[in-house]
Amino acid sequence: MAGRFGILDEEKVFKDPVHRYIHVRDELIWELIGTREFQRLRRVRQLGTTYLTFHGAEHTRFNHSLGVYEIMRRMIENMEKKEPLWDPEERLVCLSAALLHDIGHGPFSHSFEKVFHTDHEEWTREIILGDTEVNRVLSGMGADFPKKVADVIAKTYTNKLVVSLISSQIDADRMDYLLRDAFYTGVSYGQFDMERILRVMRPTEDQAVFKISGMHAVEDYIMSRYQMYWQVYFHPVTRSAEVILSKILHRAKELYEKGYEFQDKPKHFSSLFAGKMTLEDYLKLDESVILYYFQEWQEEKDPILQDLCCRFMDRRLFKYIECDPSVQMEIWPELNQLFTKIGLEPNYYLVIDSSSDLPYDFYRPGEEEERLPIHLLKPNGDLRELSRESDIVEAISGKKRTDHKLYFPKDLLEDKSKFAEEKQRILELLMAQEG
Stretch that binds a copy of itself, among 88-96, 158-166, 325-333, 393-401 (CB under 8 A): 393-401
For the bound state, the minimum distance from the C-beta of residue 372 to a copy of itself, rounded and expressed in Å, comes to 23
**CA gap 25, 20 in Å, rounded:** 16
Cβ contacts of 322 within 8 Å, gap of 6 or more: 403, 404, 405, 406, 433, 434
Using rule CB under 8 A, residue 192 touches a copy of itself: yes
- CA distances from residue 352 to 110, 319, 343, 404 in whole angstroms, order as listed: 16, 12, 19, 7
Using rule CB under 8 A, residue 135 touches a copy of itself: no
For the bound state, the minimum distance from the C-beta of residue 40 to a copy of itself, rounded and expressed in Å, comes to 8
Site residues (CB under 8 A) for a copy of itself, limited to 48-107: 51-52, 54-56, 58-60, 62-63, 66, 81
Hey, is 271 helix, strand or coil? helix
**CA gap 132, 280 in Å, rounded:** 9
Measured between alpha carbons, how far apart are the two ends of the chain, in Å?
A: 66
Of residues 157 and 294, the one with the C-beta less far from a copy of itself: 294
Using rule CB under 8 A, residue 383 touches a copy of itself: no
Neighbours of 11 (CB within 10 A): 12
The sign one gets for the Cα dihedral 370, 120, 309, 333 is: negative
**CA gap 27, 6 in Å, rounded:** 6
In degrees and rounded to multiples of 5, residue 29 shows phi and psi of -65, -45
Of residues 297 and 419, the one with the C-beta less far from a copy of itself: 297
Using rule CB under 8 A, residue 287 touches a copy of itself: yes
**CA gap 351, 304 in Å, rounded:** 14
Using rule CB under 8 A, residue 249 touches a copy of itself: no
Q: Which one, of 33, 40, 96, lies nearest residue 69 by Cα?
A: 96
Q: Which of 295, 337, 356, 424 binds a copy of itself (CB under 8 A)?
A: 295
R_g of the chain computed on alpha carbons = 24
Which pairs with CB-CB distance under 8 Å and at least 24 residues apart come from 373-376?
A: 373/169, 374/168, 374/169, 374/170, 374/209, 374/210, 374/218, 375/204, 375/207, 375/209, 375/210, 376/209, 376/210, 376/211, 376/212, 376/215, 376/218
Of residues 312 and 339, the one with the C-beta less far from a copy of itself: 312
Using rule CB under 8 A, residue 219 touches a copy of itself: yes
Using rule CB under 8 A, residue 231 touches a copy of itself: yes
Q: Which of 5, 189, 234, 297 binds a copy of itself (CB under 8 A)?
A: 189
Is residue 67 within 8 A of residue 180, CB to CB? The reply is yes
Of residues 234 and 349, the one with the C-beta less far from a copy of itself: 234
Of residues 150 and 321, the one with the C-beta less far from a copy of itself: 321
Q: Which of 395, 420, 431, 432 binds a copy of itself (CB under 8 A)?
A: 395
Q: Which of 220, 254, 281, 385 binds a copy of itself (CB under 8 A)?
A: 220
Binding mask 145-184 for a copy of itself (x = CB under 8 A): --------------------------------------xx
Q: Which of 1, 154, 291, 358 binds a copy of itself (CB under 8 A)?
A: 291
Neighbours of 325 (CB within 10 A): 12
Of residues 352 and 392, the one with the C-beta less far from a copy of itself: 392
Using rule CB under 8 A, residue 30 touches a copy of itself: no
14 by Cβ neighbours in 10 Å (0-12 / 13-18 / 19+) ranks as: middle
For the bound state, the minimum distance from the C-beta of residue 262 to a copy of itself, rounded and expressed in Å, comes to 14
Is residue 107 within 8 A of residue 285, CB to CB? The reply is yes
Residue type, 363: Y
Cβ contacts of 48 within 8 Å, gap of 6 or more: 108, 109, 110, 111, 238, 242, 245
Q: Which of 2, 4, 6, 39 binds a copy of itself (CB under 8 A)?
A: 39
Using rule CB under 8 A, residue 403 touches a copy of itself: no
Q: Which of 69, 157, 226, 349 binds a copy of itself (CB under 8 A)?
A: 226
| List of residues contacting a copy of itself (CB under 8 A) | 11, 13-18, 20-21, 34-36, 39-40, 42-43, 51-52, 54-56, 58-60, 62-63, 66, 81, 183-189, 191-193, 195-196, 199, 216, 219-220, 223, 226-227, 230-231, 284, 286-292, 295, 313-316, 391-392, 394-396, 399, 401
